[in-house]
Amino acid sequence: MNRRQFLTTTAGALASCALKTNAAEVAAPLLKGRAEHCIFIWLGGGMAQTDTFDPKRRGDPAKKLAGSYYDSIETAVPGVRVCEHLKRVAPLMDRITAVRTIHHEVIDEHAAAVNRMHTGRPVSGTVAYPSLGSVVAFERGAMSESAPPYVLIGYPNVTRGPGFLGSRAGYLYLTDTSQGPAGLSRPDGITNERQSRRESFLADLRRGGDSKLEKDARVHDYAAAIEQSLKLSGPEFTRVFNLAEEKAELRAQYGGEFGQRCLLARRLAEHGVRFIEVSHNLNFVNGTGWDAHNSGILKQHELIWDLDQAVAALITDLEARRMLDQTLIVIATEFGRPPEFDGGGGRGHHPQAFSCVLAGGGLRHCGAFGETDELARKPVADAVSVPDFFATIHAAMGIDYTKHLHEGDRPVPITDRGQPIAKLFA
């Protein structure tokens, strides 16, 4: 091959690659939803897919017969069945998609699996990855100056945090719906006059600050956090936590403390909070929560009742307020449970295939997406990785799931190259 032939051949190959790349870009446009808020319901411990949103044949722990612990019932979507204890959610499954084929490789360590399902990545010793809530807060911000972008109703944890995004993408948290965030309450004796005087002193300190420190991003983040705290400690935002303003009938529809957390999440969304995590880490009635080893499974149905009542009330309440299409509800857990029963009649851990749930958010719901084998041990159709699940959430929230965040000068893919479930955006 002479020089002219080589150049001609190489140019043709490059042009062909460019055409293929452009065709691929045209064939796969960026998916973008219209959700404005995300309510992320966290079921700590590991919800059993076979006992909730992916029921299989009935099993029997006494006979060591693998399968579901409960019977299943029909739903609003033909062919899609759920556990018999989800009787309020079943008629609403046309507004819901149970993603039945989520999978990852973290088996024995709850903390590592929780990290995976909050950051979308394995635990790293070199990079502090941001949580899903922090990424949404960073990308979208709050809808109102009188609201934070991210609220956690549950106990604080590094896996829920902003990682390398910094404190501006952090969360405000509370553990008790009866009183709101303690950190926003003024100490006794601090009158409005004293508060104003303190804010004036703070402004003087900022004006006379060290010029070298003023260039430090951490100082700016800290100052921004103080400024936001001062705004949020006022009556406009703290009133959101007064659930007594809601009608007693509606509060009863939501149920107990977990339901009240979901009701508060709706109020926070109304006020402009972008991302609200609602954690079901209460004093569980079965003693172990969703981590249903051994005898913990005996009262698992009471947890499912709790979930069923609260989620059904949240969906219908949002729908009545014309907020459901703008509010993406996510139900997630760190892994599933195997179809086999352990020696005590409960179940172990199973990350190879488990269910997470999406509702509302303007998505085109189909009741269930993905198919597992006869006992939900592994996906057999439409497997969804954790990055894919995160990309679906980002797309629903109008966030570019192909972009990169930056840890200093280092680019970090926002979802570890996940791809959204396109069917939900059709």
Nearest Cα to 355, choosing from 328, 326, 334, 341?
334
- pLDDT tens for 130-146 read 999 999 999 999 998 88
Listed in sequence order, the DSSP H helices in 348-413 are 386-396
Residues 101, 371 contacting (CB under 8 angstroms): yes
404: tokens are: 């990169």
What's the pLDDT score for residue 43? 96
CA distances to 22, 250, 393 from 423, in Å: 23, 34, 13
45: tokens are: 């411990």
Q: What is the mean pLDDT of each run of 10 residues along the chain (426 residues)?
A: 57 57 60 97 96 98 96 98 98 98 93 96 91 98 92 94 94 88 66 72 66 59 59 73 96 96 97 96 70 91 96 98 98 97 94 98 98 98 98 98 94 95 94
| CATH architecture of the domain formed by 31-183+243-425 | 3-Layer(aba) Sandwich (3.40)
Nearest Cα to 117, choosing from 54, 47, 167?
47
* DSSP letter, residue 186: P
What's the pLDDT score for residue 230? 56
What's the pLDDT score for residue 384? 98
* DSSP letter, residue 42: E
Q: Residue 241 and residue 243: Cα distance in Å, rounded?
A: 6
- Strand 172-174 relative to strand 150-153: parallel, antiparallel, unpaired? parallel
- pLDDT tens for 229-243 read 556 656 678 889 999
Residues 149, 170 contacting (CB under 8 angstroms): no
The crossing angle, in degrees rounded to 10, of helices 217-232 and 192-207 is 160
166: tokens are: 């910094």
What's the pLDDT score for residue 25? 45
Residues 265, 152 contacting (CB under 8 angstroms): no
3-class secondary-structure state, position 63:
coil
Q: Residue 350 and residue 372: Cα distance in Å, rounded?
A: 13
What's the pLDDT score for residue 24? 45
DSSP H or E stretch at residue 257? helix 257-271
Domain residue spans in the chain?
31-183+243-425, 186-232
Q: Residue 135 and residue 414: Cα distance in Å, rounded?
A: 8
